[in-house]
Chain A
Amino acid sequence: MIDINVSKEVLVIGTGSTGLAASEKIAALGYKVTSIPFASDNDAGAVNLERVLGCTGDFKADLTQKGKRTTTTFGAIVAAPEYTKEAMNKEYGLKLDDKVVTQTKFDEMLETDAGIKGLVNGKGSSVAFVSGYGQESCPENAEKILKAAQKVQSLDQCNAYIFVKNVKVGAPGLEKLFTSARHDGVLCFKPEIKPEFNQSSKELVIKSFEPVIREEMEFSPDYIVIEESLKPNEKTNALKTILRIDTDFDGFYQSNNVHRFPVMTNRLGVYVAHTTGDATNIALRIKDLLGNGTIQAPEDQGVVDPEKCVLCLTCYRCCPHGAIFWDNEAAIISSVACQGCGICASECPMDAIQIKGFADTSMKENVDKAVDSKKAIVVFCCENSALPAYNTAKILGNDLPENIRVVHIPCAGKVDVEFIWQSLVNGAAGVVVAACHEGNCKSEKGNTYASWRFGEIAKRLETIGINQGKIGFINIASNMAGDFTKKINEFAQKL
């Protein structure tokens, strides 16, 4: 291990309640916090983040304010994203006006005397809330609807109706709120098919099949309240690129990967705060990372040979942890940020990168050792999943084929085409690459790289007419020894 100095300054992007909570908790630990607004484009005086270079512990951030640019070094960066609320009226074929309003607008009405007066209006109003047909609803929206509906129901001669596909009560207090709203007289309809809406200057009409009375019902409310959805926006998209962090399928921070929850991202030192509760967790993670400004990191975790490196930047592009940068001579791997997965080493077209403990020479020796007979089945086991599963299988005394030979790899992303090939050339009976499940790779895409390379080998075998059954690719979870045993036995039997 070597001592590395890191910056004790932290950049927090977001000045909403979540961002401020994060700033406060981090500052309380003695780190200097720079807090900038998340969406600052609209405000000419605000600070904007334009670019981030460098790496964990030593991020170089370009901040601009009124056209003036400064570069500041930060040890860690926190993003508290602010997504955009979008009205879902188009999903229902409705136009927003005085009577067809968003949940936000309606909640504002309920806050003012004029709004309440408008609803009561001598003869009362009927209000229909619609949700869950333009998108799957969520507990946050359900809570807003239920609270507003209950409030409407309490007003003189007013009635609230809810049209919803599924009542999302999966959060504290919501089932109770739902029950009490029903007891107060709020009617909830749950048609399976989206109701039909008709909007004219005279009236609003909702036509729906009512599943409880099993009849078509037609209903003319005075107001329709439309659900809203949260959407990623230009700013969240831009910032994800600047910070080089992954999002989930829907474009929200961070990737849908168990190794990231609740506040981590694919890059060590970049954290995501979605709730004020996340702030305390982030503070602890930053304390772990930055400590008192000097931290220990493994020496030479990943090493680039400057003689071989041609600065093609393949490694920079494929590193899932954003741990690689470069100077004028060669790529540089940050000892702090590198997770040792080895994807870069296997992808490097010049073979210029070696990973500590898994250098090409020692990997080749291990492969040679593994093929100790013509019966040997070489199993490349990722240390995050298949290796612990294999170890458990041994401890539990599972019935594994005697001829399997396990080769330890840091991530399936470190399995080179040539390691598989070498196993076959040495005469192994079979070769298996045992990786994490898609979406569970600690290095995001190590298993994907491995499956591409595996496909490459399969094609070659096909071309030269060798049975492709000799090679196998399996996905294993770290806690599933039984799955490991079953899949390895299935492979062995097919040979």
Chain B
Amino acid sequence: MSNNTVMVVGGGIAGLTAAWELAGQKIKVELVEKTCFLGGHSIGFTCKATDQCRQCGACSVEQMLANVVNEPLINIHLRTEIKDFKKGKKITAVLDKSDVDISNTGLLKGFSQHNSPMYVAGDKAASMPDGAVAIEKLGSTGEVKVDAVILATGYSPFDPKLKATFGYGEKKNIITGLDLENILRENSTLVRPSDGKEPEKVAFIQCVGSRDERLGNLWCSKICCPTAMRMASLIKHKKEEAEVSIFYIDIQNTPKEFPMFYENVKNEISFKRAIPVDIYQIENDRLTLRYMPEENSTPLYEEFDLIVLSVGITPGADTKPLSEKFEVALDEYGFLSNSGEGVFTAGTAKGPGTIFDTIADSEKAAHETMQYLGVI
């Protein structure tokens, strides 16, 4: 047993992986998560297998979460943030309960059987399901002393309201890629938010908030093209009559065997090289999408039941304050740079990456931390 303790900030797949690797070398871990659940964005992802596994990694997140919650060397602090931080011989972090907005429904639910508690209830909760815990009972306060820190605070999905012409949040049945993940994870069939019906015609719009010079977002988020293709194929698999279109700038398909997958899905999915101009609501909660097709200069109007905005990865909302607190530099776009003294960084807090990029990067960050501590 090593005498070292490492604080891992962030309980998404990056933080989970780093914590698990450290515990594997008998290092104690204080895992601090701001929200009420571990698993981050990706624990809400759906399996995208059709007849075949599509290597999206959603099940790997579930597995890692199971590993972590069953590991006694990892001490989990849900609904907790770092209020203060002092470097010295030991690093001192002051923990405090984080603000969680629960006002909407009064009840929050985890996505995984390993999310414990499964339900978190606020004052306004109508009922307390089995296994529910009152939110006041969650959260740690006080000081922890650690020998190193790994920042694994992840990303914020791009806020699609900044693209006003799309009308996310105003028009019905316009959802983000993350919304789509969560709907399928929960329901196993695709349903429209407005009426719970299965959509017949679905469009994906790529590069929402990525590759956008005007917004200063000069990066490709890397994950959205493979995800949209997997999702489109999944929708077709679940409902053969469904028509799916993907509006794109350039298709990115880096995962293994994806060139072949891309060729195959071209047969069932309509790829359109255009970024739509705007979207109008029409009858039956449907939507008309206007775009300039590649072939001629006449705008085309096409109707859909559901439109999915493939929102990109942007620097996490906490990244800037954390970078100041922990003295880790930001890159020109606001993602965390590699590492500081005794403070290491992992995962999408550093920039876009897939689940497997994140796992690999977090293993590397854990290795660097062990080297710093002299454990290996």
Q: Does A281 sit at the interface, judged by CB under 8 A?
A: yes
Q: Label chain A's interface by main secondary structure.
A: loop
Q: Does A475 sit at the interface, judged by CB under 8 A?
A: yes
Q: Interface 1/0s, chain B 94-129, versus A by CB < 8 A?
A: 000000000000000000110000100000000000
In whole angstroms, how far apart are the Cα atoms of A268 and B65 in the complex?
A: 23
- Total A residues in contact with B, Cβ cutoff 8 Å: 61
In whole angstroms, how far apart are the Cα atoms of A261 and B254 in the complex?
A: 14
Residues of B within 8 A of A (CB): 21, 24-25, 46-47, 49, 51-53, 55, 57-63, 66, 112-113, 118, 185-189, 210-211, 213, 218-220, 222, 225, 250-254, 256-260, 262, 273, 294-297, 351, 356, 359-361, 363-364, 366-368, 376
- Residues of chain A from 145 to 174 with CB closer than 8 A to chain B in the complex: 166-172, 174
Query: Contact check: which of A170, A257, A482 meets B254 at CB < 8 Å?
Result: A170
The answer to whether B262 and A136 have CB atoms under 8 Å apart is yes
Q: A258-B60, A392-B112, A440-B59 are in contact. Are A168 and B49 (CB under 8 A)?
A: no
The answer to whether A166 and B187 have CB atoms under 8 Å apart is no
The answer to whether A288 and B24 have CB atoms under 8 Å apart is yes
Q: A258-B60, A283-B367 are in contact. Are A174 and B55 (CB under 8 A)?
A: no
In whole angstroms, how far apart are the Cα atoms of A252 and B255 in the complex?
A: 12
Q: A277-B364, A479-B47, A483-B47 are in contact. Are A261 and B356 (CB under 8 A)?
A: yes
Q: How far is the CB of A444 from chain B (nearest CB, A)?
A: 12
Q: Interface 1/0s, chain A 297-325, versus B by CB < 8 A?
A: 00000000000000000000000000000
Residues of A within 8 A of B (CB): 25, 28-29, 135-136, 138-139, 166-172, 174-176, 179, 190, 192, 211, 214, 248-250, 252, 256-258, 261-263, 277-278, 280-281, 283-284, 287-288, 385, 388, 391-392, 395-396, 436-440, 475, 477-483, 485-486
Q: Using Cβ atoms and an 8 Å threshold, which residues of chain B touch A174?
A: 220
Q: How far is the CB of B337 from chain A (nearest CB, A)?
A: 12
The answer to whether B219 and A175 have CB atoms under 8 Å apart is yes
A-B contact pairs, 13 of them (CB 8 A): A166-B250, A170-B254, A190-B273, A258-B53, A258-B60, A388-B62, A436-B53, A437-B49, A437-B52, A439-B49, A480-B46, A482-B187, A485-B188
In whole angstroms, how far apart are the Cα atoms of A28 and B296 in the complex?
A: 62
Q: A395-B113, A475-B49, A482-B186 are in contact. Are A261 and B360 (CB under 8 A)?
A: yes
Q: A175-B219, A211-B294 are in contact. Are A170 and B252 (CB under 8 A)?
A: yes
Q: Using Cβ atoms and an 8 Å threshold, which residues of chain B touch A168?
A: 250, 252, 254
The answer to whether B294 and A192 have CB atoms under 8 Å apart is yes
Q: A437-B49, A483-B188 are in contact. Are A391 and B257 (CB under 8 A)?
A: no
Q: Using Cβ atoms and an 8 Å threshold, which residues of chain B touch A25?
A: 367
The answer to whether B220 and A169 have CB atoms under 8 Å apart is yes
The answer to whether A284 and B21 have CB atoms under 8 Å apart is yes
In whole angstroms, how far apart are the Cα atoms of A138 and B260 in the complex?
A: 13
Q: A277-B364, A478-B63 are in contact. Are A136 and B253 (CB under 8 A)?
A: yes
In whole angstroms, how far apart are the Cα atoms of A107 and B352 in the complex?
A: 28
Q: Which of B55, B112, B185 has the most CB of A within 10 A?
A: B55
Q: Using Cβ atoms and an 8 Å threshold, which residues of chain B touch A248?
A: 256-257
In whole angstroms, how far apart are the Cα atoms of A456 and B255 in the complex?
A: 35
In whole angstroms, how far apart are the Cα atoms of A309 and B368 in the complex?
A: 48
The answer to whether B188 and A256 have CB atoms under 8 Å apart is no
In whole angstroms, how far apart are the Cα atoms of A283 and B366 in the complex?
A: 12
